[in-house]
Structure 1
Amino acid sequence: MTITSIDVLDSVVDITAQTESDTISESLITTILQLTPTKQVLVLDYNPEAIPEFMVVTCSDLFLYDKEKKSIEHVLRNCVFKGESVVEFSPNDKQSLLAVPISYGEKNDIHAVVLCKSDLLKGVEVQLIEGLTKIYENYQKIISSSERDGLTGLYNRKMLTTKIDLLLDRFLIQGTNLTNNPTQYHWVCIFDIDNFKLINDSLGHVFGDEVILLITALMRKHFIDEDILFRYGGDEFVVILHPQSREEMESIVRTFIRAVKERDYGQAKEVSVSMGVAAISDQELNAITVLGFADQALYRAKQDGSNRLAFYEDLVLSGELKALQPEDDVEFF
């Protein structure tokens, strides 16, 4: 395989033309496959505090990790331990496994690894993969900073509608519920801090920011990696919960609301949140509609006081809310 500088330049252009984290990962995999003798590529998240530590986020072969988990995890851990690229050759199938670390954050910790499987790799081919991975790493940092809230590190408002619309697109493609279980749904939860203006006015905005950070920490503790967390703005937050039953979801969000109420906030004696929840189903047409349902539920929850939880579907069934029709022209936000 003869690779020209034009080929490499075109690949760099393709990677940096993407505007979302997921599509950048897919572009990196395509580029490595095109420019090197690599046969399979995985991009894995790494979190030493999670179980499992490594999680496949994008791949060219869905089953490679399961089929060769032992040998792959050996080279991945070796890569993380050394903090540099590692190549291991397997004499059994005469294939090479290359692991290249990806670092993010102020401490430059390893948060992901690119793994390639191929015939014996030459030094120049390893260098090319390392160079492409570095471009990917640098560009991911740029994309991540534009997708994240500066204070909390949660996804920002811009990403909220994008993530929900991606779920709704899957409805259109599959033509069915997102899970095989008709009793399970993704759920959108919108909540804000009760009487947050009083906290800012009496204790100052710096203390208000500290409360927001403490609640963000509780969000990360009580929701799992499959859930998507957002700071919508100010003291408003959104969580998209992974598919589960109404009973499971309600138990999780009530536990979170209780944990917020019971936490010690120092000078702020009373801190609580109120939440509105709505299911994401194939009846919704766009993210604004889904968010509108949850926001209506939040509005009703706050009308009842503080530290409250309300469900859009319950409010519709009870007649407290009128079910929104797709043609209704309503601006929620």
Structure 2
Amino acid sequence: MHSTILHTLLSHLVELTSERDQIELEKLLTQTLFDLISLESRDHDQPSVSIYHAVDIEKQIFPIVALSQEAEEANLPSSLKNNLANCFKSGECLSYTPNGKVFTHLYPLKSAAHQPIAIVAITSEIEDPQQQISIRMLLQMFQNFTWLNHDNERDTLTGLLNRKSFEQRISKVLAHISNTSKRKDDTICHTYFLAIFDIDHFKHVNDTFGHLIGDEVLLLFSQLMTQTFRDTDMLFRFGGEEFIGVFQCTLASDIETVLERFRVKISNFKFPQIGKVTASAGYTLISADEISSKLIDRADTALYFAKNNGRNRNCYYDQLITDGLLQENTKESDVEFF
């Protein structure tokens, strides 16, 4: 029995440590914990393992990552919601028995800054102190790995994904688009876009106010990005004052609204010691069987057009081509401006 548990656990750990995407990591963690508890428990015990994130603690809105997507945050018992809120606020493990028979344990997952970012909820009919120790050790291993992963994939100044992680992330998006395009029976299709953002006249900021203030602008800019866009949107600092976003939209028209909202937010924000700063963006549709370098070239071309036509605007590469404002050379993949 012990060798079976050990083999299963090690197999899961090998799979988990080969993953980099946070959502996939959490799915693997729920499966690992479920199998660990199931193998150590009685045959009739049916444990459940879920991971909750806090969108709004006061309103008790907790999106869920679970083995089964049947559970929805809207259907969570009030006792669970209250305890999740308390666990997020305290950052400490909590245990309770909602019906006097089933044990529910809540374990906070913390960021590298030791702030709770998610709660692992495990429900089981068995209260096993040794099992609790095993679970805590496994969760600590998971946190250590995600912290190392975070340090390796994140930009030191802004905390956004760095350039090194871009290729791996965009390759997954392209593979997903390619696979989805082959499933003709799918009723829900999502459209993906890649956008490049550039702070207007950033060299002037550095030359006038110094690089320390310039770094503060970059940090605030990145914070406004994370506040404006969704957790599922992939945001990268690509270098200097240039940032990249990869966005999934239900409707193709949504991307214009999303980017315009961010442009307005930046232009209305008062940066300390500087005042107003604007940004320009160029974006393009991501299609199946693309390569990342071509996507960047197209978005960068649209960004260049925005910079040369007034700045503080968003330009859609594909629309510029349609409107005849750009002409694409399909043989050389070059673009001419009119």
The TM-score normalised by the length of structure 2 is 0.82
Q: Deviations over 1:175-221 (max 9, x none)?
A: 26998466x62222211111211211222110111111222232233
The verdict on how the C-alpha distance between 1:256 and 1:50 changes in structure 2, with shifts beyond 3 A counting, is farther
Distance 2:280 2:256 in 1: 14
* Structure 1 unaligned residues grouped into runs of 5+: none
RMSD of the TM alignment (CA)?
3.2
What is the 5 A alignment of 1:226-265? 226-265=232-271
Distance 1:166 1:258 in 2: 31
SS at match of 2:310: coil
CA contact (8 A) 1:171 1:177 kept: no
CA contact (8 A) 1:79 1:86 kept: yes
CA contact (8 A) 2:111 2:147 kept: yes
Distance 1:252 1:205 in 2: 30
CA contact (8 A) 2:155 2:162 kept: yes
* Structure 2 unaligned residues grouped into runs of 5+: 39-45
1:35 aligns with 2:36: yes
User: Which of the numbers 53, 56, 60 marks the counterpart of 1:45?
Assistant: 53
Distance 2:297 2:58 in 1: 34
The aligned length equals 324
CA contact (8 A) 1:147 1:159 kept: yes
What is the 5 A alignment of 1:56-67? 56=64, 58-65=65-72
1:207 aligns with 2:213: yes
Distance 2:59 2:292 in 1: 31
1:113 aligns with 2:119: yes
The verdict on how the C-alpha distance between 1:177 and 1:133 changes in structure 2, with shifts beyond 3 A counting, is farther
CA contact (8 A) 2:9 2:36 kept: no
Q: Deviations over 1:57-104 (max 9, x none)?
A: x42222234596115434423433553323333448x43322111121
> Mean Cα displacement is larger for which, 155-164 or 133-142?
155-164
1:145 aligns with 2:151: yes
The verdict on how the C-alpha distance between 1:177 and 1:238 changes in structure 2, with shifts beyond 3 A counting, is farther
What residue in structure 2 maps to residue 195 of structure 1?
A: 201
The TM-score normalised by the length of structure 1 is 0.83
Distance 2:196 2:185 in 1: 21
Q: Deviations over 1:152-192 (max 9, x none)?
A: 1111112323333222222222226998466x622222111
What residue in structure 2 maps to residue 310 of structure 1?
A: 315
User: Which of the numbers 314, 319, 324 marks the counterpart of 2:324?
Assistant: 319
The verdict on how the C-alpha distance between 1:34 and 1:244 changes in structure 2, with shifts beyond 3 A counting, is closer
What residue in structure 2 maps to residue 54 of structure 1?
A: 62
CA deviation after TM superposition for structure 1 residue 23, in Å: 4.1
What residue in structure 2 maps to residue 222 of structure 1?
A: 228
What residue in structure 1 maps to residue 10 of structure 2?
A: 10
SS at match of 1:306: coil
User: Which of the numbers 125, 128, 133 marks the counterpart of 1:122?
Assistant: 128
What residue in structure 1 maps to residue 278 of structure 2?
A: 272
Percent identity between the aligned chains?
27
CA contact (8 A) 2:106 2:122 kept: yes
> Mean Cα displacement is larger for which, 284-293 or 188-197?
284-293
The verdict on how the C-alpha distance between 1:253 and 1:50 changes in structure 2, with shifts beyond 3 A counting, is farther
CA contact (8 A) 2:49 2:120 kept: yes
SS at match of 1:151: coil
CA deviation after TM superposition for structure 1 residue 110, in Å: 1.2
User: Which of the numbers 79, 88, 99 marks the counterpart of 1:80?
Assistant: 88
Distance 1:87 1:271 in 2: 49
1:291 aligns with 2:304: no
Distance 1:305 1:137 in 2: 46
Distance 1:232 1:215 in 2: 13
1:55 maps to a residue whose letter is P
Distance 1:247 1:41 in 2: 37
CA deviation after TM superposition for structure 1 residue 6, in Å: 4.8
